[in-house]
Amino acid sequence: MKVIRTVEGLKTEVGKAREAGLSVGLVPTMGALHAGHLSLVERARAENDVVVVSVFVNPTQFNNPADLATYPRTEEADSRLLDAAGVDIVFMPTVEEVYPEPDTRVFNLGPVAEVMEGKMRPGHFNGVAQIVSKLFYMVEPTRAYFGEKDFQQIAVIKRMVELEGIDVEIVECPICRADDGLALSSRNVRLSAEQRARAPRIYKTLCRAAEMSGNASIAEVEKMVTDTLNAEEGMEVEYFTIVDTKTMQPLAEWPEKGEAVGCITVYCGDVRLIDNIRFPKK
């Protein structure tokens, strides 16, 4: 596995692969890798000749400086895991390398980026669009892999790709969960033992919501989830919103066409966890 730290080095190395007619799979990450990331790498490995993983904690997508400062950084362990997973190239740049000048681009991401995470974290999705577009221009991947835990992020990235006219296939990969149901996240390491023990209740409640959805309205399901989790000590729901899987717009009624997904953000103490569940079609 080649560890590359410069944009020029990355372009040269990937350029050779593309010139040889090889397909390139890109897995963008912010490091602190876990089995969820490795499932993306495994899929990329199976579907491409060359696999590139980027490990970069992107400052422009953090609207909260404390979140950026405490984001886990585990470069050596990440390298070992990626090497063992058969990755060809890992790109681990510095902030200065990626942003020699401030990125002033503002993307017209539209309604998909205005609700939920977009509303709670102003500027977050613009930052995601900045870094992901930069990576796409550097690597020119055939396919890029993203986890469905960040469900809204995938919709935003698809919109950015459409706006920029980038030729890449966006591959959506299912959420990886711990045995007790907690969605795997780099932030889970920040949970205390007590918070970690409570956190699986998020998914348990989402499963209850899916079961209940056949006989209840959207408003009733949203209320049940919010009330149940807010009743847990040390947990606070920031939002639980049932939206259309494509437009990300909140739904008032279960859709006759299309599909619904319930997206949630919960604070466990000061750790912000996100998750989602798709609802069965009516």
Binding to ligand PAF (CB under 6 A) within 24-53 occurs at 28-30
Query: Is the CB of residue 62 less than 8 Å from the CB of residue 68?
Result: yes
Binding mask 56-85 for ligand PAF (x = CB under 6 A): --x--x------------------------
Binding to ligand PAF (CB under 6 A) within 172-211 occurs at none
61 versus 276: smaller Cβ distance to ligand PAF: 61
Q: Which helix (H) or strand (E) holds 40?
A: helix 35-47
Write down how long the chain is: 282
Binding to ligand PAF (CB under 6 A) within 136-155 occurs at 150, 153
Contacts of 245 (CB under 8 A, 6+ apart): 151, 258, 259, 260, 261, 278
Q: Which helix (H) or strand (E) holds 43?
A: helix 35-47
> Where does this chain touch ligand PAF (CB under 6 A) — which range of 126-134, 137-145, 244-252, 272-280?
126-134
Alpha-carbon gap, residue 257 to 88, rounded angstroms: 42
CB of 207 to ligand PAF, least distance (A): 24
- For residue 124, indicate whether it is catalytic: no
265 contributes a contact to ligand PAF by CB under 6 A: no
Question: What are the CA-CA distances from residue 147 to residues 105, 174, 236, 258, 270 (Å)?
Answer: 25, 6, 24, 21, 23
146 versus 254: smaller Cβ distance to ligand PAF: 146
Contacts with ligand PAF by CB under 6 A: the residue count is 10
131 contributes a contact to ligand PAF by CB under 6 A: yes
266 versus 274: smaller Cβ distance to ligand PAF: 274
Identify any residues that bridge with 172 across adjacent strands, giving them in sequence order: 146
β 235-244/260-268 pair status: antiparallel
Residue from 37, 45, 121, 201 carrying the catalytic annotation: 37
- Applying CB under 6 A, which residues contact ligand PAF? 28-30, 58, 61, 128, 131-132, 150, 153
The catalytic site residues sit at 37
